[in-house]
Amino acid sequence: MPDGAVASPAERFGQALLALGFSQYEARCYVGLLAPEPQTGYAVAKSTGVPQPKVYETLRKLVARGAARRLGGEPARFVAVPPEDLLRDLQSSFEERVEHAREISAALQVPAQPAAQEDVARLADRAAVVAAAADALAHATRRVYLSATCEELESLREPVTGCVARGVAVVVLSFGRRPYQVAGAHVFRHASTDGALYRHHQARHLALVADSRETVFGLAADGAAWAGVRTASRPIIAAVKGYIRHDIDLQQVYRDFGPALVSAYGPGLQRLESYRADPPTPADHPLDTTGTA
């Protein structure tokens, strides 16, 4: 078929027969027999381009598999079984073979398979983390969640812009005092830690989820030594996506109720971390006499 030409229904049906196990000659001869009148082997060879030395052998195979019928007379003429009858018979035959295989498989002694191992690629430094994130962004097609410190976001500006240009929904959580903006992206700034001094304030991170099919996570706890992973593991994807979305939700609450939250929990909401201190003594939390925990 010439380049750019649209296949006819007969040509498309012939291709479908190939997928069902017909040979090239069988598919062409069957489609050639779909004519108003029975045809001789010579006529089929002429209309289909199947070499005449091969056409009679092919027609005999079609008859043997129930796809065509041979009519009496001399020379012999052939007619195709209607497509709906052919496809019904093929389906029935296939289902019978599958059921037969299922019955045989029941007697097999199949050893227990080891648990599937998730493919997790380790990323040894910042360059590897940023490169993995850029590659994931380049292949995203639907939605991206991205949380990172401003330096890493700047390194990803071009692939983020490319995502937006392709119509990908991009949601960004930016850490740092400098606002990060890319036209078309939905950007939130992590403002709740402003004005607070944390011992881990030098930490930098990058967390990305692309299309809910893969995630990249990298961390430099000391701000310099990076380590990370890239994986398609569904549990890890769900954890990283939940981490990013929960953080964005908190920033929206902080935007609307910031003064009240600072009043309750201090600058940077640091008192929210009180549960990380030493375990409380019984005197700190007397037993609840109502019986609830």
Rounded to whole angstroms, the Cα distance separating 154 from 227 reads 19
Would you say the C-alpha torsion 89, 92, 95, 97 has a positive or negative sign?
negative
CATH topology of domain 9-101: Arc Repressor Mutant, subunit A (1.10.10)
What is the full per-residue pLDDT of the chain (293 aa) written as tens digits?
Answer: 555 567 789 999 999 999 999 999 999 999 999 988 999 999 999 999 999 999 999 999 999 999 999 998 888 999 999 999 999 999 999 999 999 999 999 888 878 766 666 689 999 999 999 999 999 999 999 999 999 998 999 999 999 999 999 999 999 999 987 778 899 999 999 888 765 544 445 789 999 999 999 999 999 988 899 999 999 999 999 999 999 999 999 999 988 998 898 888 887 777 877 776 666 665 555 555 554 44
- What's phi and psi for 249, nearest 5 deg? -60, -45
CATH number of 120-265: 3.30.870.10
Helix (H, G, I), strand (E, B) or coil at 36: coil
Beta-sheet strand order (sheet of 214-220): 120-123, 227-231, 214-220, 204-210, 143-149, 169-175, 186-189
Greatest CA separation for the chain? 108
Ordered alpha helix ranges (H), the chain: 9-19, 24-33, 41-48, 52-64, 83-105, 126-139, 150-155, 157-165, 234-265
Spatial distance between the Cα atoms of 236 and 128, rounded to a whole number of angstroms: 19
Beta strand 77-80 with 68-71 is antiparallel
Position 292 scores a pLDDT of 47
* Integer Cα distance of 96 and 87 in angstroms: 14
CA–CA gap between residue 267 and residue 245 (Å, rounded): 22
| Gyration radius from the chain CA atoms | 34
Query: What is the token pair recorded at 281?
Result: 């003594």
Beta carbons of 216 and 121 less than 8 angstroms apart: no
> From residue 152, how far is each of 26, 57, 175, 228, 247 by CA, in Å?
60, 68, 10, 14, 18
Instruction: Give residue limits of the domains in the chain.
Output: 9-101, 120-265
pLDDT on residue 21: 93
